[in-house]
Structures are given as C-alpha cells and as structure tokens.
C-alpha cells in the first residue's frame, strides 16, 4: 500500500502540477488551512482528506473570508 507521508496531506508530485482551473496560474499551498489559493482568481480551493477539490463551485471566495463554503449558493 502506498502510505502518504503526511496524514491527510496532499501528494507532493500532484502539488507540483496543479494550477488554478480558471486562470491556469500557479497556486499557493496554505498548509495550515489545507487550501490551494489562486490569487489571480480570488479563490481558495479546499483540500479534504488529502484530496484537492479543484471545483469553482466548491472554492472559497477570498474577498469574503468569513463565509463558509456553500456549494449550491456560492455561484450566484
């Protein structure tokens, strides 16, 4: 079995090639909050159980830091 080095951490080889799905720009890995931050798009993509969720619907908007992610209502 392939044990991940960091529990619930993201695979480093995967981290190297991930970009923002909208802008295709590089992402900043926020280890503490387990997020991949796209400054260009103003979005933070969550990492849940080590799986990066690279969907715009699921991303947190950076200008609205206090709100929690609401997949159904976020797009409006």
Partner 1 sequence: MDQGLPTVFDRRALRRQRTRAAAGFARHDFLVRAGAERLADRLDDMKPRFARVLELGAHGGILRDSLAGRAGEALHVAADLAPAMLARAQMPVVVADEEALPFATASFDLVLSNLSLHWVNDLPGALVQIRRILRPDGLLLASLLGGRTLEELRLCLLEAESEVAGGASPRVSPFVDTRDAGALLQRAGFALPVADADLLTVTYPDALALMRDLRGMGEANAATARPRRFTRRDILVRAAAIYGDRFAGPDGRIHASFEIVTLTGWAPAPGQPKPLRPGSAAARLADALGAEERPAGDKAPHG
Calpha distance 44→62 (Å, rounded): 7
DSSP assigned state of 11 = P
Contact 10, 29 (CB under 8 A): yes
30 in contact with partner 1 (CB under 8 A): no
17 in contact with partner 1 (CB under 8 A): yes
Q: Which of 9, 11, 69, 74 binds partner 1 (CB under 8 A)?
A: 11
Minimum Å gap between C-beta 66 and partner 1 is 24
Q: Which of 51, 61, 67, 70 binds partner 1 (CB under 8 A)?
A: 51
Determine the straight-line distance between the first and last CA of the chain, rounded to whole angstroms: 42
56 in contact with partner 1 (CB under 8 A): yes
């Amino acid at each position: 079995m392939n044990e991940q080095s960091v529990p619930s951490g993201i695979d480093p080889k995967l981290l190297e090639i991930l970009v923002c799905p909208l802008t295709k720009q590089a992402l900043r890995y926020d280890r503490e909050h387990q997020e991949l931050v796209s400054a260009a798009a103003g979005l933070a993509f969550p990492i849940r159980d080590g799986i990066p969720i690279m969907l715009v619907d699921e991303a947190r908007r950076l200008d609205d830091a206090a709100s929690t992610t609401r997949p159904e209502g976020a797009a409006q």
